[in-house]
A and B are shown apart, each in its own frame.
Chain A
Amino acid sequence: MITLESIKVFGKSTAGNFSGELPFKSGLQVISADNAFGKSLSVTTVAWCLGAETVFGLPDNDPSCFALAVRDEIEFNGKLFAVVSSSCAVSLLHKDGRRLRLTRPIKGDCAKITAEEIAKDGAVRTSVFSARYRTMQDETGGFQYFFFAWLGWPHQKTVTFKGGESEIYAENLLPLFYIDQDEGWTDIQSLQVSRYGQQQIGEFAIEYLLGGLDATAARVAQLRSAQMTGALKEKARILADRVVVGLIGYGWRIEMSSFGSITELADRWQAISLKDILASNFDVDLGKRHSSLRERVEKLRQSLTDAPIDVEDVSAPVSASQRVIELKRRRHRLSEDASTSRSQVEQTEVLLESLEDRLSAAEDLFRLKTIGIGRIDHIECPTCHRDLDPATFALNSQSSESIENHIEALKRDRDLLSRNLVSMKATLSIIYSELEVVSSEFREAERALMNVTSAVGTVREALAQTAAELASAERSIDRVLEISKNIEVWQSEIDAWVREAKGVTFAMTAPSDFTSKKLAFAEALANYLLAFGHSAVSSNNLADVSLNEQYTPMLNQKRLRSLGSASDQSRLIAAYTLALAQASVKVDGLHPGLVILDEPLQQNPDPKHRERFLSFLSKELAKKVPFQVVIFTSLRQGEITQLRRGGVSVVTPEGTKFLTLDARHESTEVPAENTPITPQS
């Protein structure tokens, strides 16, 4: 736990040196000053000195979150003076007595943060860190690496949307204890930085501050597991598509679904043997086919080289011609089949298109009926003014139930038709691939016939035919080898996928001890909501306040929203922020023990809202917080008196402006290492 001891802004202008400082104490305190005093300037200093300007949506080292008064021109006594340089500093006190003063230039080299560590015995050690560049990764020069160590905060990994890792940064935690005036009140964790692509960073931040490091570790494991599952499923889908399409290309259609959980899929695919499937479904044994082709090649080679030739045998031209005729017939039949299938596919596509159009019309009509636009319930005859019943014209209006049923029927038809279309396309692919094989064989047979018929004498005819058959058989062997090789590759890919899927360790569930931390948070939230006077929460339904999986406040399983009053939103955010700090103290979490609320009244003139807020501040729950709460606002004199009478610490800084010219117009901007530190208790 830390305490913010002071905020200081100082610099040099053409009018001279200027500065402003606000001291703080532990517990609850309200800093009340008029608008344009410089409250927001001092609040911004905290985020800036922690190197967390990204919460304002700014790029690294961009000081434009500050007012122009410290960046460009500053007004003194109604005159504007150029700002030459400016810096700001915050002093923090650790609960173990160590102090830290962080100074960062606003106009100047704002990429550096100077940290002065002051030990309990007063020894000072000064270091300069990089504010943003490798702030968490650089163990010697990164500011956040140093700051986390000084606070005793452990480093915690998160998972990014790209599948990589990222740390939890200070700017991820700040939105839970730092609510700025401009954006902080728009939603819970509205300042959360999402641009780093960390997944579920809001949930991570809450678990971290509640000290649920094992819960964050479990969340990382779950996210990794989900990413891994998604990647494995996608890999399986691509692999299944490739294998199915590849086999269709050889004329074999198999079912290889990638549906189901990873475990189910791994079990199912483990049993897959493409060779067995081909043998059982298509009676294909590539090994045997290869052996028989090799035997045939051997025989043909022998008959071509040294086997005796029957000079009386005149069957070669006849058999070559017969083969051409057979192949031509097969090619013709396959062409016809392809034509029929293609036509079926085209018709089904048109039918599917018409179904989509009809479905769209039915869905639009359903919307028309349910929202009631242009519904004509009562039309009368323009002459006799009697009701005209559409039934007289054999017309009727369908009920929305009837249309819903029709939509259901159309959807079923569409699904059925879509599946049929996939099947038809697969069949067409098989026919095409077979047609390609047959066409190639036909061309070979034609060439063989030409050679045989051009040969003179039975011997040459027989030799020509044998040579053609030999060439054909050798090409068949090449084809069988190519198929075998592809099947081996696919099989090895399937086996590798199964091994990978079996090797994945799936996410563990959240450890049970975090439940108590979450319950403490929910309980504190309920109490704070009641104390703040949130319209939806009363002492009767306190037990119904809970937090869902994303730590969103819920009431009776419904999201807790502003019900009766628009200002409920700021009450909800304030209650949520304070409840988290309270719960963290109770469960010994990692919350820094500091809550900064900038203008919780939102300059809202609504008397009830102000009254409820002041009433909250006067309650014991607010006054006896076991952590530091600094509220910057603008109260009326009567309100200040009322709060002080109720024992609330209200600080009203002197003067009309936070920054004033120093008494002696000489430089107060001494180097950071020489700046005297005055410990404050």
Chain B
Amino acid sequence: MPTESQILSELLAGTSAAPYVHPERIAPSTVYDLQYRMFVVAACLRVSGKVEGAFRKISANKLRLLQFVAMRPWLLDVVREWSASRKDRQRSLQSSQSLRRGFLSDGMHDNIIDYLVATGCLFKQKGQIAEPISSVILSGLFDTSEKDGLFTTETDAIRELNEIVITNDMLEGW
């Protein structure tokens, strides 16, 4: 099956244009890779999730924020500022404006969660996302990656986020 760039090249070749493709310029960001997103979800669950019975659970809204910031650690300062201003409605609204717009409209996260739920790796339970302790797919991905020193920036960012107070008000809006 021809790729988009090949189709485009063929179309252009029919004209007098000389197609010249920089493959690196059309390569998508790693943020759109399934495995990367699965690792980030696994890391959020492992670092911030709480074990309850046979499941490791995390609030769905918190997971949405954590995974978004874990992939963009430079936003940690924004979250800190937002947390510090949480008692001041006006300041809180101003400081979180751009961040909230970003993570609330993160459609790919919904797709990832749906996919992991469909595969039985995760369950949705009353506003919580739960991973069966017995499941090895996500925990195996996290353990082996951590052992090999992969994605330390993301894991460190989640650990730093754990130190920041994030309230339900902040996550669920006003």
Contact = CB atoms under 8 A, between A and B. Distances in A.
Q: Do A and B come from one complex?
A: yes
B111 A394 contact: yes
Interface stretch (A252-260, A371-379, A507-515, A615-623): A371-379
A357 B72 contact: yes
B30 A362 contact: yes
Given A362-B30, A365-B33, A395 B112 contact: yes
B27 A403 contact: yes
Given A357-B153, A371-B148, A406-B28, A398 B33 contact: yes
Interface residues of A, number: 37
A164 B30 CA distance: 51
A375 B35 CA distance: 7
Contacts of A371: 148
Nearest to A383: B120
A405 B148 contact: no
Interface in B90-125: 108, 111-112, 114-115, 118-120
B100 to A, nearest CB: 19
A527 B68 CA distance: 66
A393 interface: yes
A361 B24 contact: no
Interface string B135-165: 0010011001100101101100000000000
A395 B32 CA distance: 8
A353 B73 CA distance: 9
B162 to A, nearest CB: 18
A358 B119 contact: no
Given A374-B141, A395-B112, A405-B24, A353 B34 contact: no
A395 B34 contact: yes
B153 A381 contact: no
B174 interface: no
B35 A367 contact: no
Q: Chain B CB within 10 Å — which of A374, A398, A405 has the most?
A: A374
A393 B118 contact: yes
A556 interface: no
Given A357-B73, A361-B151, A403 B112 contact: no
A396 interface: yes
Contact of A393 (B73, B115, B120): B115
A396 B34 contact: yes
Interface in A377-427: 379-382, 388, 390, 393-398, 402-403, 405-406, 408-409, 412
Contacts of A394: 108, 111
Nearest to A411: B24
Given A350-B74, A360-B153, A397 B145 contact: no
B87 interface: no
Contact of B25 (A375, A397, A409): A409
Contact of A368 (B114, B118, B120, B150): B150
Interface string A341-361: 000000000100110011011
B53 interface: no
Given A397-B35, A409-B25, A364 B151 contact: yes
A74 to B, nearest CB: 54
Contacts of B145: 364, 368, 373-374
A373 B141 contact: yes
Nearest to B25: A409
A72 B50 CA distance: 65
A350 B141 CA distance: 30
Given A354-B72, A395-B112, A409-B27, A374 B144 contact: yes
A460 interface: no
A387 to B, nearest CB: 10
B168 interface: no
A561 interface: no
Given A354-B72, A390-B115, A398 B32 contact: yes
A107 interface: no
A369 interface: yes
B24 to A, nearest CB: 4
Contacts of A395: 34, 37, 108, 111-112, 115
Nearest to B42: A374
B71 interface: yes
A361 B28 contact: no
B33 A397 contact: yes
B23 interface: yes
Contacts of A405: 23-24, 26-27
A380 B108 CA distance: 21
B153 A406 contact: no
B144 A373 contact: yes
Contacts of A382: 119-120
The 5 closest A-B CB pairs, nearest first, are A374-B141, A382-B120, A405-B27, A409-B24, A406-B27
Given A364-B151, A373-B148, 19 more contacts: A365-B33, A368-B39, A369-B35, A374-B137, A374-B144, A376-B141, A382-B119, A382-B120, A394-B111, A395-B37, A396-B33, A396-B34, A398-B28, A403-B30, A405-B23, A406-B24, A406-B28, A409-B27, A412-B24
Interface of B: 23-30, 32-39, 71-74, 108, 111-112, 114-115, 118-120, 137, 140-141, 144-145, 148, 150-151, 153-154
23 contacts: A358-B29, A358-B30, A360-B153, A361-B36, A364-B151, A365-B33, A365-B151, A367-B148, A368-B36, A368-B150, A376-B35, A376-B38, A381-B118, A390-B34, A390-B115, A393-B111, A395-B111, A405-B24, A405-B26, A406-B28, A406-B29, A408-B24, A409-B27
